[in-house]
Each structure stands twice: as C-alpha cells, then as structure tokens.
C-alpha cells in the first residue's frame, strides 16, 4: 500500500511541476492590473461614471416624445343635437421640450464630470495598491526560494557530515555520539526543508490569487526597481504624482464645485414646449394643429432646502480639504521614513552578507579540523548551524532591502 502511494506521488510530481509557470517582475504586475478583480471593478466604475455623465447631460438637452391616446365611451356625448364627444376618439401628438435656461441640469452635468474624475483617480489608486501587493508577494516568493536554497544546502552539508561520521563509526574509528549528533542535524535540516517547501507553496498561491490565475505561479529571480530620487525631490514628486493624494485633491475640487454651484437653487428656469397633434375631429376641436409655450419657473420658497444643501456642501468641502492637507503631511513623513528605512536595510544587508561569508569560512575550517581529528563534531555541528542561520539572515536582509526600496518608490509615487 505504501509503495503504491509512493509510485502515485512520483507519477504526479512531474505534472505539477509542468503546470507551475514562472512570471517576471513586470509581467506579474501587468497581468494583475489587467486581470485582478479589483482592477477590473475599478475600470467598470469608470465606465459607470461615464454613463452617469451621459445621464446628467440629458437634463439640459432637448426632449422629444410621441404620445397616443385611444378612448372608448359607453355612448357618444351629444349637446343640442351635436356630437361633442364621439363614441371612439383617437388623439396623437408630438411634443418637443427645449430647456433654454436650466441651471439645475447644467450643474448636474458639471458635477457628474467631477465625479468621473474622482472615480478615475480612485481607480488609479486601486492600481497602485494592487501593484504594491503584487510586488510584495513576488518578493515573498523569491525570499522563500532563497530560504529553501539555504536549507537544502545545509541539508546536503549535514548529509555529507553524517555519511562521514557513520562511515568512521562503521570502521571502528568514530564514536556513537558523533554519529547520533550528525544524524540529528541531518533530520532537523530535512524537516526544515519540508517546512520551507510548504511556505513556498503558500507564497506562490498568494501570488497566483493576485494575478487571478487558477494554478500556482512562481517568480523568476529578477526584480526591476527604478532608481530612487533624493529625499526633497521625492517629497515634491509624491505630493504631485501619488494617486492617493491626487484622488483627495480631485475630491476637494469636486466638493468646491458643489458648494460654488449653490446659486442654481436660486436661479429661474425657462423651458420652451412645442406640440403638434392630430385627433378625432369634434365640433369643439380641430383634427390637427400645433401649439407652443414658454414656461418660466422662479423658486421663491422651498422650506429651507437650499440653505441646508449649502451648509452640507460647505461641510463636505471642509472635510475634503482637511483630508487632503493631512495626506500631504503624511506623504512627507512616509517618504522621509522610507529613505531612512532603506538606508538601514542596505547597511543591514551588507553586514548580513559579510557575516554569512565569515560563517561559511568558519564552517569550512571546522570541517577540516574535525576530519583531521583535532576536534569532535560538536564544533562542526555548531559551525554548520551558524552558517545556515547566517545565510538565512542574509536572505531576510536582502528581502528587507528590496521591500524597503519598493516602499520608497511607492511612497514617492514612482511605482508602478
């Protein structure tokens, strides 16, 4: 039973490996922006905003309607022997309504366009956040690969050490303590490899979900990040280019326009109505004809509605301005903090790489000393563990440097 399961696993493994496709840095970002549900919904919101602009514009464009009416009475209406309303009566008309002065319709169109700009900027911010999430997930996959490589290398080193110690014990030259200690180190490294393999699958799964794929996605060992600007220039660029700041600024502009256009609730409206008709002829109505009207409407009193709208819109503008000003301050802090974080991350990466190199040297010397019989394998096991931990720390430091550079580019508005 166990052998059958093993054969099934070995047969299925190549299929899973073939299905696992690797994507590059820019390819992953482009695919997510094109296929992720968040980005798709954002584009659909833009299309909806465009449709709302079209709807609002109809409020001040001409309106042409055709109407038809058929009436059937229980009997004809007769007055002094004259039929004034026949038994069956048909009436049809064509009515043209032309707004000549339509402040409410104009304002509705203006505000719908402002809302379209707000939705567009919100969609751009969704793209920025999505690209950042994809970048972090991509870097996480690379980190898990790096950690797995370190663990596999440590496992192979431990296996060579165990084989040497076991051979010495079998030949009567070694001791059981060294053999058991070497085997313990090997099994521990094997367990860590399995744990990291599972972590890699989870990272690949997270990347696949962001890319809207139906299978696991791997990452190629390539990261293309733009050169970061100076701190002052980055702050200036971020205040102008970051989509979240621009979205808040667009919202502030829209709120200002709303408050500015309060006058439309006090302005008169003028509508021209022209109608041509054809109907059943009666003694009091001709069979065809036309008529035209000018309808002037002047708002005099509305129960205080206009004053309430004005106060509400003033409050909305004040809120939008407060949020925009807070975003400008936040951008400055985020950019400067990102610069400091990147500096420390680069320093930590340099130190971690130097430590890993020194640990490798120490492990190699400890192995030579053990094989020469100068020490027990206790020193060798300790040196190998330190080398593995130092290499793992270097991998984390490299990921931290990449993450810090990505955070800086996002904070300064240069990513994606």
Does 305 score more than 80 pLDDT? yes
**Alpha carbons within 13 A on the beta-carbon side of 334:** 21
- Name which of 36-40, 85-89, 141-145, 293-297 the model is least confident about: 85-89
Give the pLDDT confidence of 175-189 residue by residue, as tens digits. 888 889 888 999 999
- Reported as a pLDDT band with limits 50, 70 and 90, residue 378 is confident
The average pLDDT across 64-86 equals 85
Q: Give me the half-sphere count of Cα atoms (radius 13 Å) on the Cβ side of residue 330.
A: 10
Q: Which of 16-30, 317-331, 356-370 has the highest mean pLDDT?
A: 317-331
What pLDDT shows up at residue 19? 59
Report whether pLDDT(9) > 50.
no
pLDDT for the residue numbered 46:
95
Pairing of strands 217-219, 21-23: parallel
Whether the model pTM is above 0.75: yes
pLDDT at 174 over 70: yes
Give the pLDDT band of residue 85 (cuts 50, 70, 90). Answer: confident
Mean pLDDT of 321-330: 96
Average pLDDT over residues 124-152: 95
| Predicted confidence (pLDDT) per residue in 12-58, tens digit | 343 344 457 899 999 999 999 999 999 999 999 999 999 999 999 99
**371 vs 4 pLDDT, higher one:** 371
The CB density around residue 227, as the number of other CB atoms within 10 Å, is 7
Q: Which domains does the chain have, with CATH numbers?
A: 20-72+87-411 (1.20.1600.10)
The pLDDT value given to residue 290: 92
pLDDT of 373 reads: 81
Over the chain, what HEC string results? CHHHHHHHHHHHHHHHHHHCEEECHHHHHHHHHHHCHHHHHHHHHHHHHHHHHHHHHHHHCCEEEEEEEEEECCCCEEECCEEEECCEEEEEEEEEEEEEECHHHHHHHHHHHHHHHHHHHHHHHHHHHHHHHHHHHHHHHHHHHHHHHHHHHHHHHHHHHHHHHHHHHHCCCCCHHHHHHHHHHHHHHHHHHHHHHHHHHHHHHHHHHHCCCCCCEEECCCCCCCCCCCHHHHHHHHHHHCHHHHHHHHHHHHHHHHHHHHHHHCCCEEEEEEEEEEECCECCECCEEEEEEEEEECCCCCCCHHHHHHHHHHHHHHHHHHHHHHHHHHHHHHHHHHHHHHHHHHHHHHHHHHHHHHHHHHHHHHHHHHHCCCCCHHHHHHHHHHHHHHHHHHHHHHHHHHHHHHHHHHHCCCCC
pLDDT band at residue 4 under the 50/70/90 scheme: very low
What average pLDDT does the structure give for the chain? 90
For the stretch 211-256, pLDDT in tens is: 999 999 999 998 888 887 788 888 998 999 899 999 999 999 999 9
pLDDT at 5 over 50: no
Task: Identify the residue with better confidence: 402 or 370.
Answer: 402
Q: Is the pLDDT of residue 1 over 80?
A: no
Tokens of 303: 């129960």
């Amino acid at each position: 039973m166990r052998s059958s399961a093993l054969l099934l696993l070995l047969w299925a493994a190549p299929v899973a490996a073939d299905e696992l496709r690797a994507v590059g840095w820019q390819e992953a970002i482009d695919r997510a922006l094109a296929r992720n549900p968040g980005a798709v919904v954002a584009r659909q919101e833009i299309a909806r905003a465009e449709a709302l602009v079209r709807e609002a514009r109809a409020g001040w464009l001409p309106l042409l309607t055709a109407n038809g009416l058929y009436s059937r009475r229980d009997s004809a209406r007769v007055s002094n022997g004259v039929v004034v309303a026949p038994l069956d009566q048909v009436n049809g008309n064509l009515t043209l309504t032309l707004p000549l002065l339509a402040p409410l319709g104009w304002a509705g169109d203006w505000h719908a366009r402002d809302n379209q700009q707000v939705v567009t900027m919100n969609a751009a911010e969704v793209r920025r956040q999505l690209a950042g999430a994809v970048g972090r997930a991509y870097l996480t996959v690379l980190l898990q690969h790096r950690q797995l490589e370190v663990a596999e290398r440590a496992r192979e080193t431990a296996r060579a050490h165990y084989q040497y110690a076991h051979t010495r014990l079998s030949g009567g030259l070694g001791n059981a303590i060294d053999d058991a200690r070497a085997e313990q180190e090997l099994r521990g490294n094997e367990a860590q490899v399995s744990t990291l393999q599972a972590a890699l699958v989870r990272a690949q799964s997270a990347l696949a979900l962001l890319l809207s794929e139906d299978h696991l996605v791997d990452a190629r060992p390539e990261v293309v990040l733009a050169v970061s600007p100076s701190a002052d220039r980055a702050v200036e660029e971020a205040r102008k280019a970051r989509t979240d700041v621009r979205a808040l600024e667009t919202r502030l502009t829209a709120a200002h326009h709303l408050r500015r256009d309060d006058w439309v609730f006090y302005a008169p409206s003028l509508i021209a109505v022209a109608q041509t008709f054809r109907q059943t002829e009666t003694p009091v109505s001709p069979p065809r004809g036309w008529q035209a009207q000018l309808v002037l409407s002047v708002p005099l009193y509305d129960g205080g509605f206009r004053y309430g709208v004005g106060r509400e819109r003033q409050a909305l503008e004040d809120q939008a301005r407060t949020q925009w000003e807070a975003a400008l301050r936040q951008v400055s802090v985020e950019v400067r903090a990102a610069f400091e974080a990147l500096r420390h991350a680069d320093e930590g990466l340099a130190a971690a790489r130097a430590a890993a190199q020194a640990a490798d040297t120490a492990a190699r010397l400890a192995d030579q000393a053990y094989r020469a019989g100068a020490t027990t394998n206790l020193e060798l096991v300790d040196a190998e563990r330190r080398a593995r931990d130092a290499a793992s720390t270097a991998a984390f430091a490299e990921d931290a440097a990449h993450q810090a550079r990505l955070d800086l580019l996002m904070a300064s508005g240069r990513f994606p």
